Structure 1
């Protein structure tokens, strides 16, 4: 299949859907992503941003590999020390509630099905000058048996090209292929691996500029990236959650001595419907930690 057959035209504009509609669900299926304008209210966004300060100050509990902060530092200086905190829902009830916001759950049940579970949250801070992430597919990191992985990326500030919004390659999810990956040393990006050798170019990408409170809902196979925050001041804060169908066992963080046929990662939060594997119980094994961003070196 040629690049021209697969590539989305770079002139496409981002559609912001005001409600969870068939048009939104269809766009996620066809293009691999869609935007829900008012996923969170201004009050909910403000509450999460206030909670982020408490989280980064260590008031909610220990964050693995987190930087040292002091009480005399301003909130702004404390936040600038962080790029991304994984699993903030392990420390914050406010973040836990955001996993199952009604509008978001409505969209997820339309995209995934009636039974939905979540396994991960991420709080991105990305102050001015901080890096983005290279092209990647979320399914590479969180493999699902039924290809149901779906991300919900919620803007906590207006996300713009200048401050490092998401960029997507529309339609790149359709083949259901995980492209090759490699380490990268591009100063624009954090320590994440990058996908390569896919039938698209950067010219096919479109920026997903959205207002605070809007959410990008996208497929786990969609190629996406973000660039550094090149603004002169301010953050590009975002809260990203990952979900999948509750019917599928989750083959994530599998121990080396375990059969893939029997493994099911159970540190999950059910957000809709029923859990067919409830008899297995719920685990509590993940902890909040900080993503490496090259400033302290990459653990390779």
Structure 2
């Protein structure tokens, strides 16, 4: 797995990139989103958290003179912002994203979740996890697209991943978390991996990190005094696969959750129609689900 194949050049994914993704479980597309696009997403982030795009339970009332940074520090993330934001919804199917997704997933791709992270100074990170544990696709097609709105560095809490941990495509047990870098109550024990095999993914604003649902990843605490690490993270999967996702018990059990957005190709299950059951909500600072 030559390191140069971990990066997609000029937005054009190569056969070597696809092979690398299947083996290592991640890819980095530098400067995939334009400066204009990033400015648009940054402005929309502020509008969403100010409550200008619709009601989200738990959003605090704001005085007119409070700055964007001051109120963003109060939050960690919003799930499903595309439900109230036309801008976020449009970026689910951004052409440069779908051109890559159609190569590493399938010609037919659907999106089932968006998350808008606003990790401010001093905020803790996410513990080691596999997205597949929370979003049950089980066909190895689950893919996160992590769009860096701010530069992501080790200091402000960038992603850390373990290349190759997507194999053998199994869900690892979760254990009690004792690391103060993480806000979550549980984590995955990664002590069996060599330190040199656990790498930070530092990327510039506009870059996108793609990673498989079984790939182990985490983020550490933002130890800066004045930097944010804002990112839009969308989750995609093959449209050929059904989605038995009950949102950790929030929704009725189902063999195929149809609250999705087709982003490219054809929907084999279009005859089932589309539902609208998920609503945007604030992510709690301490995550304790899947009890």
Instruction: Measure how far apart 1:24 and its partner are.
Output: 2.1
Superposition map of 1:257-272 within 5 A: 263-272=255-264
Residue 19 of structure 2: aligned partner: 26
For normalisation by structure 1, the TM-score amounts to 0.88
Instruction: Measure how far apart 1:240 and its partner are.
Output: 0.4
Match of 1:278 among 257, 270, 273: 270
Bigger shift: residues 250-259 or 208-217: 250-259
CA 1:14/1:169 → structure 2, altered by over 3 Å: closer, same or farther? farther
Question: What is the CA deviation profile of residues 96-117 of structure 1, one whole-angstrom value per residue up to 9, with x for unaligned ones?
Answer: 1111111110111101111100
Q: Whole-Å Cα distance in 2 between the matches of residues 186 and 14 of structure 1?
A: 33
Instruction: Measure how far apart 1:282 and its partner are.
Output: 0.5
- Conserved in 2, the CA contact under 8 Å of 1:63 and 1:289? yes
Match of 2:281 among 289, 297, 300: 289
Question: What is the CA deviation profile of residues 84-140 of structure 1, one whole-angstrom value per residue up to 9, with x for unaligned ones?
Answer: 111110111110111111111011110111110000000011011111101100000
CA 1:66/1:188 → structure 2, altered by over 3 Å: closer, same or farther? farther
Instruction: Measure how far apart 1:163 and its partner are.
Output: 0.8
CA RMSD of aligned residues (A): 2.4
1:76 counterpart SS class: helix
Bigger shift: residues 72-81 or 135-144: 72-81
CA 1:192/1:247 → structure 2, altered by over 3 Å: closer, same or farther? farther
Match of 2:166 among 142, 148, 173: 173
Q: Whole-Å Cα distance in 2 between the matches of residues 183 and 93 of structure 1?
A: 39
- Conserved in 1, the CA contact under 8 Å of 2:132 and 2:138? no
- Conserved in 2, the CA contact under 8 Å of 1:246 and 1:275? yes
Structure 2: give runs of 5+ residues left out of the alignment. Answer: none
CA 1:45/1:197 → structure 2, altered by over 3 Å: closer, same or farther? closer
1:50 counterpart SS class: helix
Q: How many residues align?
A: 287
Q: Does 1:87 align with 2:80?
A: yes
For normalisation by structure 2, the TM-score amounts to 0.91
- Conserved in 1, the CA contact under 8 Å of 2:156 and 2:229? yes
Residue 16 of structure 1: aligned partner: 7
Instruction: Measure how far apart 1:237 and its partner are.
Output: 0.7
Instruction: Measure how far apart 1:38 and its partner are.
Output: 2.5
Match of 1:149 among 137, 142, 154: 142
Q: Does 1:213 align with 2:244?
A: no
- Conserved in 2, the CA contact under 8 Å of 1:14 and 1:209? no
Instruction: Measure how far apart 1:191 and its partner are.
Output: 2.9
- Conserved in 2, the CA contact under 8 Å of 1:133 and 1:192? no
Residue 4 of structure 1: aligned partner: none
CA 1:40/1:192 → structure 2, altered by over 3 Å: closer, same or farther? farther
Question: What is the CA deviation profile of residues 127-169 of structure 1, one whole-angstrom value per residue up to 9, with x for unaligned ones?
Answer: 1111110110000000103121011001001111111110000
- Conserved in 1, the CA contact under 8 Å of 2:246 and 2:253? no
